[in-house]
Every structure is written in structure tokens, then in C-alpha cells.
Chain A
Amino acid sequence: MNLTTFIVKRVLAAVPLLLGISVILFGVLHLAPGGPLDVYADIPGVSHEALENIKRELGLDQPLPVQYVKWLGAAARGQWGYSIRTGRPVAKDIRERMPATFLLGGTAFLLALAAALPLGILSAVRQYSVLDYTFTFLSFIGFSMPIFWLALMLQSLFAVHWQLLPSAGMYTIGDGGLADRLKHLALPASILSVAYMASWGRFTRASMLDVFGLDYIRTARAKGLGEREVIYRHALRNALVPVITIVALDFAGMISGAVITETIFAWPGMGRLFIESMNGRDYPVLMALLMIGSFALVAINLITDIVYSMVDARIRYD
């Protein structure tokens, strides 16, 4: 069996997996107390009849299995339905939020990766050095720092005291040039990357140290290879395998939306859409968002497996 057959098999296996996920998600969402129309009940002027009518029109009065089958039928044809909150096609609502989330998540991902890998490798190579201790200390601060607190402090510093960066939003209305967008991106992307930077850096360090203790590294040194060659050609490749797993799983989370960062920075991403839809029990939007998240996770797992085989010659799918 070659790589192509492996991929085809995995893709086929993903279909029943996603179906199962969709049944569970649909059930859990409907089990949660409250429904999409409860939000309107906070307005004193909404009558019971009006709510009953909407319920009937949206099909919410039908038994759950019927609702699920209808949803599945439509989803299979690529129709995600209309949002109950906004009255617009779900696909449109989500498509508008995707670029913001991808931009923020993608930038934070690259930032975190660019900092975590070199720092992790360096502190492993120079174990117990000042650099190693400093990095360890900073990563523990990074993990344990509540994101919202750090965000508020940096907003206050950069936007209020120094007036260097905007405190929130994606661009200045009426500007929107590249420089303006980068300025808006700087704070949220840095803050979102902090925790990942710390965690991936620690992971890389630990993984490198594991590999350094193995016999083949001793062999490599014994046959007279330079230290650079030993670290980057021999140790790093193997040390990266577990790091890739963690990074990939985190990546799936990052592109599904970062709720806290998006809320604090008024960033119009999918994380905020999810929270708003959850509070409003907007079933069509929630199902679409959750299915996108699940799909991303399944896809990224597959990609990770493929990347393994490229990084680690011992892993072969046959």
C-alpha cells in the first residue's frame, strides 16, 4: 500500500466519523437548556403567538430526529441554512468571519512557531545555562498569565499611555491600508501567540533533550560530525515528531477562533460568532461552526500523519 491508498482510506474512514460527530453535536446542542427563541422573550413586546409562529416556520416544533435528518439532507447538498439570529445564509455569516480568524490565528501561529522552535532548541543545547533558565522562567509566566489580563495591560500601555497602537478592531474606518492593518494585528496576534510560544518551546526543549540522550547521537558525535550537524541534521528531525503533533492540534484550535482574544480586541472572528450563536442557541450557525472545527481536526490529523512519514523515515504507512 502506498501513500495514495493510505490517504484515500483515511478520507473514506472520516465520513462515518464526521457523521457520528454530527449526531452527537446535534443532540448535545438541543439538550442544552433554552432555545433560539428564548432571547426574544427578554423583550416585553413579544407575544406568545408570534413565538409559536416562528417555531413552526423554522421547524423547531418537529421531533429532534426529523430535524436532524432535514439538517443532514441539506448539509449533504452543501446548504447550511439560514441563521436564526441574523436571518442571513449561514455560509455568508461564517465566510465573513473566516478571514479575520485565519489572519489572527495564522499570524499568531507563525509568530509562536518562529519563537518557540529556536528558543526550545537553544535552551536544550545549552541546558542549565542562563539562557535556559531565563527561557524556562518566561515560559512559566507565559503559560500561567491569564490572557485577558495581559491583553488589558498591553492595551493600556500601548494604546492609552504611549498611543502607539490601536487598542482594538481590525482596521481604522476610512484607512485600512497595510500598515494600519498590521498595527491593529500586532497586539492580538502577539498575545494569542504567548501561551503557544511557551508551551511549544518547552515541548521542543524536552523533546530535544530526550533525543540528545540516545545512542545514535553519541554515535554521530563519535564519528566526528560537527556539533551543528549533529543537532540540526540528526537530533532535530527526530525531536520534531512529537512537537508536530502538539503544534498541529493547537493549530486546529487556533483557526476555529480564539474567543477571549477576539472579544477583548473586538476582532470579528469565528470565536465571537460562536459565543454569540451559543448564547442565542442559533442551531444552524452552531452546527456549521462545530462541523468546520471537527472537519479541521480530522483533516489536520491526516496531514500530521503524512508529515510524520516525511520527517521520520521509520514511519511508513504500509
Chain B
Amino acid sequence: MQGLRRFVSRTIWSLCLVIPLAGMAAAQERGGTLTVALNYDLDTLDPYASGFLTDVQATFLAGLVAPDHDAQYVPVLAQEVPTLENGGIVLSEDGSKMTVTYHLRPGVKWADGEPVTSADVVFTWEAIKDPNYLGPEKDGTAEIERIETPDDLTAVIYYDGVYSGFKASLFTYGVLPKHALEGKDLNKDPYWDAPFGAGPFMVTEFSRGQHVIVERNPYYFETDANGVQLPYLDRIVFKIIPDSNTQTTQLRSGEVGFAYNVPYTSLATLRNTPNLEIISAKTLAFRHVTFNLRNELLADLAVRQAFAHAIDRTTLNRALGDYMLPIDTFVVSTFAYASDDVPTYGYDPELARQLLLDAGYAPGRDGVMEKDGKRLSFDFMTQAGRAEYETAQQVLIAQLKAIGIELKPDNKAGAALSEARRNGGFDVWYSGWITPADPIDSYVSFYATNGFNNGGAYSNPAADAALYAAAGSLDPEEVEARMHEAQQIVLSDLPSIPLFETPSIVVTTNKLQGFVSNPTNQTNFRQVAPWWLAK
């Protein structure tokens, strides 16, 4: 059943990808300005310091490699993605360390015309690693022992261990121009007011709280099949529009031609607007309900199982607009090692009640189950002000009430929410995760005993062993076996119930052609160069 569903959903999604690709057969036109709605107040253009995903940064910084629309890494500034087979990755004799070699594309230039060399790769690593640099996104820097540059186009990176996720952050976000930044204070340098890189665009204006304008990088290296230099667009204007209703209005009035993460609730209005395309774009995001196992009642597996059987994903999905794809495991279907062979918890309220009765709980006077005077009543946290989450919360409260579990909303926002979810300031928590294209390090942070994002205090040495083994292996078969094992253990222990894989709704003007969504945290703008506007 699950296999079939996955097959069906894969087919649907590949169809979605074919449509925009087919549109590219028409002659592309160069020029034009695309106006994009950015639904957050962008803090900084430094991708290593921003608290947001890197939508704007992806247009002007290019990395060595980047994940594509299937979350598969493709070369950008590098000539190929290093693997064991192509000799790009070499293991030490005892197999405990690895060396990764990148060959840069010859002739690539920064947006100011200077050549991109391997010295820039070394500079980026040193600058981000520097303790005086305060950007928090230093992932992937500490594991590197040294970088050698035998020539201008070769960077040989020596790691102190074996890391399957080595491509995920440092060299994907973007290589920084050494000649513009050397000797400067990377935290405060005015470079970040109008930064440039080797990406298809460069920033010409960042007006805080209003907009970012990026214009064509005249030296961008990529060309289309006919040898025409990319990008096709002259300019992208990112308009900062924090209110999602205003974003909808601007789409309808034509003031904005591209918006993503459009709330499902706006779709009814937008569907009736001519000249707009609505695209359901696959992402690596998923929704989950996570338990705090420090709570003695939730530490009881029977309670968590009952909880899982009480959730009716079909109804919940309908309340959220019927755009989600139900899942039974925490690995989304984009990844080959998503397991079909995990314990599943279908909607069965009778069974859920029975599980509680068998565990010694009995309905109290108000209908809430209790045992030894302790009621199954929990604080239920989600992000305040996020309409989708709050709707889901209401539905879940009603569904759990039906089996005698009481949930009391306890919503938080901003730093208070982050603090609570990491330190266990909740009983039950509904939220979403989005992982990078190499997600295993993220799974470690969610489910390993000392995992950085493991706020529910889940701990199982067997799960730890499987997750760390998967994170430390470069062999796809080994990774798949270990990840199947990890999914089996986590779904049996049920510290968290995976609910849905979450598409992002992208709404664009119907003039936009060549758009292919990107499911990873590298954002849709990672492959922006071939987008174009029909006249």
C-alpha cells in the first residue's frame, strides 16, 4: 500500500517537473525583471550569518556543488561532484580519514571580472572557521585539517574523518571572493551591503525592510545550449512582504510575479486570478508531532502508540487544504533510503482507546483518561501566528480528545519557541523540519541521544549507533542499510510521529518560464539562471 502510494506520488511529482521543462522548448527571451515576494524581514545578506534560508544569497553566491531539483548534487564552480568512483574522494589506508579533490571550472570570473581560483576556496574556509567571525553557520569547517592548492584550479581538502555530509554546507552556500574580503572584518564589512560572488546575479541595492535588487552578473560562466550567456533575466527584485495576506493581494494585483510557501488558505482566491500559475513543489520538509519523554506519562510507549493511532491524517490533511502527502517515516520520499518496512500507526481510535485501557488508564469524570490520579493532559506547543500550524493543532486537539487525551495549546514564537523546543519546554509539539540534501546529520540532531535538536530527550543507543554509522559512511548500500535500521528503531520507539511530507506552494506569473523548483534548503533560487519571462 505504502509502496503504491509512493509510486503514485513520484509519478505525479515527475509530471509536475516535466511541465515547466517542456515549456523551455520555446525560444527563451533574454531580459525582463522578475518581482519576488520575500515573506520575512531579511536580516543580512551573509548566508553564513542569516537566521533565514538563503533565497537571495543563492542568486549571487555560487558554491562548488549544489543540490538540484531531485536533491542530487550537481557541479557548479567545480567540474564534477567528487565521489569515490571518480577519484574525487580518496580514503586513507586505514579508512579513518578522507581527502576530497575539487577541480574548478577554468575561466570562471567573479562579478567584478577577477578570476575565481582555488585560493578563494581556502579563503572561504579560513574566513568562516575563524573564531572572530561570528556567523553561526560554521558547519563543515571544523572537520577540515588543511586545504592544499597544487594549482589555481585544484583544491585538495584533507578531512580528519569520513563524513558523508561533507557537501552540505560550507562549499554549497557559496565561495567568497578573497580579493574583496581579505584582511577585512567579515562580520561588519560594507561588502555585505552590496555583495557579489560568482553566481548569476549580483546585489545592486539592499534597502532594509523594503527590497533587495539583484542584477545580471556580466561575467557569469553558464551558457544555454545555443551558447547564449545566462542568466536570461536582467534583474530580480525581492520585495520584503512579511504579511501573507498582503503577499496574496500583491500576486492578485500583479505587483509581484513570484511567491513561494504561499499559505494553502489563500489558494481558493488565487486560483480565480487569471495570469497566475499555481505549482505544488516538492520539498524536503515534513511535519511531525514530537513528545517530551521527560514527562512520565509520555515516557509510556503505550500512551505514545495510542496517540499515534488517534490521529486521522486524512481529516487533518483536508483541514490543511489537502496538499500534504501522508508519510509513515521521517525520511521523505525524495531519498532512496526512505523505508517501507517500518511499524505504521493507522487511524484506529478503538485500538487507541484499548491500548490506554490495557495500560491501566480509565476514563475520569470529565472523560479524560487517568491512572493513579494522573490525567492524560498535556501542554501542546506549536508556533504562534503560523496559520497552518495552529489549524493542525486545533484538529489534533479534537482527535485526541476522542480517545480521552487532553491537549492544551501553549504556543510560542521566535526565540521563546526555539528555546522551548530545544530544552524541552513542551509536552507535545507540532512542527516541521526541512533538511539539507544530505539529511543524515540532521537526523542525528533530531534523534541521537545528544542530538542538538533532540528537545524531547529521546535516547536509544541502538538508534545512535545506526545513525552515526550512516553519517560516517560513503557507501550508499551501507547508508541505506543503516538508515533502514534507524527508521525501524525510531518508529518502534515513537519519540516523534512523522505526519506529512510538505510541498511548498509556488505561485508565479504565467509569463515565467523555465522555473524548476528545488526541494532542499538551498531554496528555489539555487537554479535561477535559466528562468525567463515571456513577453
Which residues of chain A have a CB within 8 Å of any CB of chain B? 32-51, 53-54, 57-58, 82, 85-88, 93, 96-97, 100, 148, 152, 155-156, 159-160, 163, 166-170, 173, 263-266, 268-269, 272-273, 276, 278-281
Question: Is the beta-carbon distance between B134 and A87 smaller than 8 angstroms?
Answer: yes
Which A residues are in CB contact (< 8 Å) with B253?
Answer: 159-160, 163, 166-167
A-B contact pairs, 10 of them (CB 8 A): A41-B422, A44-B436, A47-B138, A50-B138, A51-B136, A53-B131, A87-B44, A155-B246, A159-B252, A266-B246
Nearest CB in chain A: distance from B57 CB, A: 13
Question: Is the beta-carbon distance between B51 and A42 smaller than 8 angstroms?
Answer: yes
Give A51 to B138 CA distance when docked, in angstroms. 10
Which A residues are in CB contact (< 8 Å) with B425?
Answer: 33
Which A residues are in CB contact (< 8 Å) with B36?
Answer: none
Nearest CB in chain A: distance from B132 CB, A: 7
Partner of A152, one of B51, B169, B249: B249
Give A142 to B168 CA distance when docked, in angstroms. 53
Question: Is the beta-carbon distance between A32 and B41 smaller than 8 angstroms?
Answer: no
Question: Is the beta-carbon distance between A86 and B44 smaller than 8 angstroms?
Answer: yes
Q: Encode contact with A along B118-149: 1 for CB under 8 Å, 0 otherwise.
A: 00000000000001101011111010000000
Which residues of chain B have a CB within 8 Å of any CB of chain A? 41, 43-44, 46, 49, 51, 131-132, 134, 136-140, 142, 168-169, 187-188, 192, 207-211, 213, 237, 239-243, 245-246, 249-250, 252-253, 255, 412-420, 422, 425, 433, 435-436, 441-442, 445, 452-453
Question: Is the beta-carbon distance between A41 and B242 smaller than 8 angstroms?
Answer: no
Which A residues are in CB contact (< 8 Å) with B419?
Answer: 33-35, 38
Given A38-B415, A169-B210, verify A266-B242 contact (CB < 8 Å).
yes
Closest to A88 in B: B188
Question: Is the beta-carbon distance between B246 and A167 smaller than 8 angstroms?
Answer: yes
Closest to A152 in B: B245
Given A42-B418, A45-B436, verify A279-B413 contact (CB < 8 Å).
yes
Give A172 to B213 CA distance when docked, in angstroms. 12
Nearest CB in chain B: distance from A287 CB, A: 16
Nearest CB in chain A: distance from B439 CB, A: 9
Give A40 to B138 CA distance when docked, in angstroms. 11
Which B residues are in CB contact (< 8 Å) with A97?
Answer: 208-209
Give A85 to B49 CA distance when docked, in angstroms. 8
Which B residues are in CB contact (< 8 Å) with A36?
Answer: 415
Question: Is the beta-carbon distance between B416 and A86 smaller than 8 angstroms?
Answer: no
Question: Is the beta-carbon distance between A268 and B137 smaller than 8 angstroms?
Answer: no
Which A residues are in CB contact (< 8 Å) with B139?
Answer: 45-47
Nearest CB in chain A: distance from B25 CB, A: 32
Question: Is the beta-carbon distance between A168 and B138 smaller than 8 angstroms?
Answer: no
Give A47 to B169 CA distance when docked, in angstroms. 12
Partner of A32, one of B46, B188, B416, B436: B416
Partner of A43, one of B132, B137, B209: B137
Question: Is the beta-carbon distance between A39 and B51 smaller than 8 angstroms?
Answer: yes
Which A residues are in CB contact (< 8 Å) with B187?
Answer: 87
Which A residues are in CB contact (< 8 Å) with B44?
Answer: 85-88
Question: Is the beta-carbon distance between B241 and A168 smaller than 8 angstroms?
Answer: yes
Closest to A37 in B: B136
Which A residues are in CB contact (< 8 Å) with B51?
Answer: 39-40, 42-43, 85, 280
Which A residues are in CB contact (< 8 Å) with B250?
Answer: 159, 167-168
Question: Is the beta-carbon distance between B208 and A268 smaller than 8 angstroms?
Answer: yes
Give A97 to B41 CA distance when docked, in angstroms. 13
Nearest CB in chain A: distance from B40 CB, A: 9
Which B residues are in CB contact (< 8 Å) with A34?
Answer: 414-420
Which A residues are in CB contact (< 8 Å) with B142?
Answer: 47, 49
Nearest CB in chain A: distance from B92 CB, A: 24
Give A266 to B249 CA distance when docked, in angstroms. 12
Give A20 to B412 CA distance when docked, in angstroms. 29
Given A97-B209, A160-B249, A167-B253, verify A43-B136 contact (CB < 8 Å).
yes
Nearest CB in chain A: distance from B32 CB, A: 13
Nearest CB in chain B: distance from A11 CB, A: 33
Closest to A172 in B: B255
Nearest CB in chain B: distance from A303 CB, A: 29
Closest to B254 in A: A163
Partner of A35, one of B49, B413, B415, B442: B415
Which A residues are in CB contact (< 8 Å) with B140?
Answer: 45
Give A43 to B241 CA distance when docked, in angstroms. 22
Partner of B416, one of A33, A40, A49, A167: A33
Give A37 to B139 CA distance when docked, in angstroms. 16
Give A226 to B137 CA distance when docked, in angstroms. 76
Nearest CB in chain A: distance from B109 CB, A: 28
Which B residues are in CB contact (< 8 Å) with A37?
Answer: 136
Nearest CB in chain B: distance from A211 CB, A: 43
Question: Is the beta-carbon distance between B209 and A45 smaller than 8 angstroms?
Answer: no
Question: Is the beta-carbon distance between A47 and B43 smaller than 8 angstroms?
Answer: no
Question: Is the beta-carbon distance between B415 and A39 smaller than 8 angstroms?
Answer: yes
Which B residues are in CB contact (< 8 Å) with A93?
Answer: 208
Given A44-B435, A57-B132, verify A87-B188 contact (CB < 8 Å).
yes
Question: Is the beta-carbon distance between B209 and A273 smaller than 8 angstroms?
Answer: yes
Question: Is the beta-carbon distance between A278 and B136 smaller than 8 angstroms?
Answer: no
Which B residues are in CB contact (< 8 Å) with A51?
Answer: 136
Residue among B192, B209, B417 with most chain A CB within 10 A: B209
Which B residues are in CB contact (< 8 Å) with A155?
Answer: 246, 249
Nearest CB in chain B: distance from A164 CB, A: 10
Given A34-B415, A279-B413, verify A45-B168 contact (CB < 8 Å).
yes
Give A160 to B252 CA distance when docked, in angstroms. 6
Question: Is the beta-carbon distance between B136 and A54 smaller than 8 angstroms?
Answer: yes
Question: Is the beta-carbon distance between B242 and A263 smaller than 8 angstroms?
Answer: yes
Question: Is the beta-carbon distance between A40 and B436 smaller than 8 angstroms?
Answer: no
Partner of A44, one of B43, B207, B412, B441: B441
Question: Is the beta-carbon distance between B134 and A54 smaller than 8 angstroms?
Answer: yes
Give A100 to B134 CA distance when docked, in angstroms. 30
Which A residues are in CB contact (< 8 Å) with B416?
Answer: 32-34, 38
Give A48 to B49 CA distance when docked, in angstroms. 15
Give A167 to B254 CA distance when docked, in angstroms. 10
Which A residues are in CB contact (< 8 Å) with B209?
Answer: 96-97, 100, 268-269, 272-273
Which A residues are in CB contact (< 8 Å) with B412?
Answer: 33
Given A36-B415, A280-B414, verify A156-B207 contact (CB < 8 Å).
no
Question: Is the beta-carbon distance between B249 and A168 smaller than 8 angstroms?
Answer: yes
Nearest CB in chain A: distance from B239 CB, A: 7
Closest to A41 in B: B418
Closest to B420 in A: A33
Nearest CB in chain B: distance from A267 CB, A: 8
